[in-house]
Chains A and B, each alone.
Chain A
Amino acid sequence: MDKDNKEKISLGEENQFVTFMIGSETYGVEVLKVKEILGMTDITHVPNSLSFMRGVINLRGAVVPVVDMRLKFQLQEKEYDTFTVIIIVEVRERLIGMIVDTVSDVASIPVSTIQNTPHFTSKIETDFIKGIGQIESLLVIILDVDKILNHEEFKKIEEDKTA
Chain B
Amino acid sequence: MSESGIIEIFQNEAREILDNIENDLVVLEETKSSEVVNRLFRYYHTLKGSSGIAGFTSISEFTHSLESCLDLVRSGKISITEDLISILLQSTDWIRGTLFEGGIGEKYDTIKNDIFTRLEVIRSGEALPVSVVADKIRYYRIKAAFAENIFEFGIDPLIVMEDLFESGEVVENFVDRRKLSMLSKLDPEKCYFSWRVVVKTAKSIDKIKEVFLFVLDNNEIIIEDITSEYVENLDEKRGEKKLGDILVNKGIVTERELEDVLNEQQKENKKIGEIIVEKGFATPKDLNTALGIQDDIKKKIESNTVRVDTMKLDNLMNLLGEIVIGQASLNRISEALDEEQGYRLKNALYGLDRITREFQEQIMSIRMIPIGPTFDQFKRFVRDMSKQIGKDIRLDINGKDTELDKTVIERISDPLKHMIRNSIDHGIETSEERMNCGKDSQSVISLNAYHQEGSVFIEIKDDGRGLNYEKIRAKAIAKNIISKDDEVSEEKLKSFIFLPAFSTSDSVSDLSGRGVGMDVVKSNIDALRGTIEIDSIKGKGTTVRIKLPLTLAIIDGMLFRVGNSTYIVPLLSIVESIQPKKDDVKTIKGKGEVVLVRGEYVSLIRLYDFFSTSADHTNPWESLLIIVETNGERLALMIDDLIGQQQIVIKSLDSYITQSSAISGATILGDGSVALIIDIHGLMSGLKNEKVIE
Bound together: yes
Residues of the B chain whose Cβ atoms lie less than 8 Å from the Cβ of A58? 668, 672-674
Residues of the B chain whose Cβ atoms lie less than 8 Å from the Cβ of A94? 654
Closest to B322 in A: A61
CB distance from A156 to the nearest CB of B (A): 4
Taking a contact as CB atoms under 8 Å apart, the answer to whether B656 and A63 are in contact is no
The digit string for B634-678, where 1 denotes a CB below 8 A from any CB of A, is 000000000000000001011111111011001010001111100
Taking a contact as CB atoms under 8 Å apart, the answer to whether B656 and A46 are in contact is no
B610 on the A face (CB < 8 A): yes
Taking a contact as CB atoms under 8 Å apart, the answer to whether A156 and B656 are in contact is yes
Taking a contact as CB atoms under 8 Å apart, the answer to whether B653 and A46 are in contact is yes
B325 on the A face (CB < 8 A): yes
A interface bracket (residues with beta carbon within 8 Å of B)? 20 to 34
Residues of the A chain whose Cβ atoms lie less than 8 Å from the Cβ of B153? none
A124 on the B face (CB < 8 A): no
CB distance from A64 to the nearest CB of B (A): 9
Within 8 A of A (CB), among B43-82: none
CB distance from A97 to the nearest CB of B (A): 12
Which of B613, B654, B674 is close to A160, meaning CB atoms less than 8 Å apart? B654
The stretch of A18-26, A48-56, A104-112, A138-146 that contacts the partner chain: A48-56
CB distance from A55 to the nearest CB of B (A): 8
B interface bracket (residues with beta carbon within 8 Å of A)? 20 to 34
Taking a contact as CB atoms under 8 Å apart, the answer to whether A44 and B655 are in contact is no
A153 on the B face (CB < 8 A): yes
B4 on the A face (CB < 8 A): no
B321 on the A face (CB < 8 A): yes
Which of A42, A56, A61, A159 is close to B657, meaning CB atoms less than 8 Å apart? A56
Residues of the A chain whose Cβ atoms lie less than 8 Å from the Cβ of B611? 45, 47
Residues of the B chain whose Cβ atoms lie less than 8 Å from the Cβ of A48? 658-660, 662-663
A57 on the B face (CB < 8 A): yes
Taking a contact as CB atoms under 8 Å apart, the answer to whether B659 and A61 are in contact is no
CB distance from A148 to the nearest CB of B (A): 11
Residues of the A chain whose Cβ atoms lie less than 8 Å from the Cβ of B507? none
Taking a contact as CB atoms under 8 Å apart, the answer to whether B651 and A57 are in contact is no
Most chain A CB inside 10 Å of its own CB: which residue of B325, B610, B666: B666
Taking a contact as CB atoms under 8 Å apart, the answer to whether A56 and B674 are in contact is yes
Within 8 A of B (CB), among A147-163: 149, 153, 156-157, 159-160
A65 on the B face (CB < 8 A): yes
Residues of the B chain whose Cβ atoms lie less than 8 Å from the Cβ of A1? none
**Given A44-B674, A45-B565, A63-B674, A50 contacting B668 (CB threshold 8 A):** no
A160–B655 alpha-carbon span in the complex (Å): 7
A74–B673 alpha-carbon span in the complex (Å): 28
Taking a contact as CB atoms under 8 Å apart, the answer to whether B656 and A50 are in contact is yes
Q: Which 5 A-B pairs have the closest CB atoms?
A: A48-B660, A44-B674, A47-B611, A156-B656, A63-B651
15 contacts between A and B (CB under 8 A): A44-B674, A44-B675, A46-B657, A47-B662, A47-B663, A47-B676, A48-B659, A55-B674, A56-B657, A58-B672, A61-B321, A61-B325, A63-B651, A156-B654, A159-B655
